[in-house]
């Protein structure tokens, strides 16, 4: 991994927002899932949450788009998902037209926030709506009553990004350094990363030049030399 690539990876990781996320409930069309995750990556979301009922479970793990940069946590049901999100102190918003719904731009996204998007045709389930803290809507002036889920997600998430940028929340590192190092190793040295996993070895630190900075015993257990590792990295681009 070149120093330039390492610095680019670090610039991305340093802006990751660990207290902003989305939860996709039964959003099962691959192009929609992929588009939402891509937007999550673009606005600096580190992890997305998913819930798929049994009839949608064949979609699990598919079309996650930028999955090498955005982590995924799947929950067995919406109750578990809501419990996990609220357990992290997040306000949970759900896109749902109701008498108590507020314009999505009137929400404070500088707070720890999870945004729930429901299934393409039917929207969020009644259970999800009941468990959420606030319904939000995107004002519609035309004949249609809703936007495609991936478009709706982009609008809401970029409002969250706008508010967080003004508040300076992208100017400080939120991800623990150990996780930044692990992600840099995984994406900068994918072959070494997989070998390290197979051998059950701890991930090595990456220095400021983007090089694996491991001791001799680690290299010996990996059964590969630093020179060979550098050659592998060059082959991987």
Does 138 show up as a binding residue in the annotation? Answer: yes
Q: Token pair for residue 74?
A: 């799947």
Does 225 show up as a binding residue in the annotation? Answer: no
What burial class does residue 208 get, using C-beta atoms within 10 Å of its C-beta: 0-12 exposed, 13-18 middle, 19+ buried? exposed
Does 157 show up as a binding residue in the annotation? Answer: no
Strands 113-117 and 102-103: unpaired
- Where is the binding site, in residues? 95, 138, 147
- Where is the binding site for S-adenosyl-L-methionine, in residues? 95, 138, 147
């Amino acid at each position: 991994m070149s120093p330039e690539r390492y610095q680019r990876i670090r610039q991305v990781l340093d802006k990751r927002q660990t207290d902003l996320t989305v939860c996709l409930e039964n959003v099962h069309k691959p192009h929609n899932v992929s588009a939402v995750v891509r937007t999550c990556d673009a606005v600096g979301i580190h992890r997305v949450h998913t819930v798929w009922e049994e009839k949608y479970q064949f979609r699990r793990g598919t079309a996650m788009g930028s999955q090498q940069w955005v982590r995924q946590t799947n929950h067995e049901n919406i109750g578990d998902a809501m419990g996990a999100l609220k357990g992290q102190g997040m306000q949970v918003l759900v896109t749902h037209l109701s008498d108590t719904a507020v314009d999505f731009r009137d929400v404070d996204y500088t707070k720890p926030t999870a945004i729930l998007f429901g299934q393409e045709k039917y929207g969020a389930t009644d259970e999800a709506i009941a468990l959420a803290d606030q319904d939000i809507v995107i004002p519609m002036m035309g004949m249609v009553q809703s936007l495609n889920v991936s478009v709706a997600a982009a609008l809401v998430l970029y409002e969250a990004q706008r508010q967080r940028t003004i508040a300076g929340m992208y100017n400080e590192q939120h991800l623990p350094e150990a996780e930044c190092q692990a992600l840099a190793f995984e994406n900068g040295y994918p072959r070494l990363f997989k070998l390290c996993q197979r051998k059950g070895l701890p991930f090595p630190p990456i220095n400021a030049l983007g090089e694996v900075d491991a001791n001799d015993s680690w290299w010996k257990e990996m059964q590969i030399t630093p020179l060979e590792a550098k050659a592998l990295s060059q082959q991987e681009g």
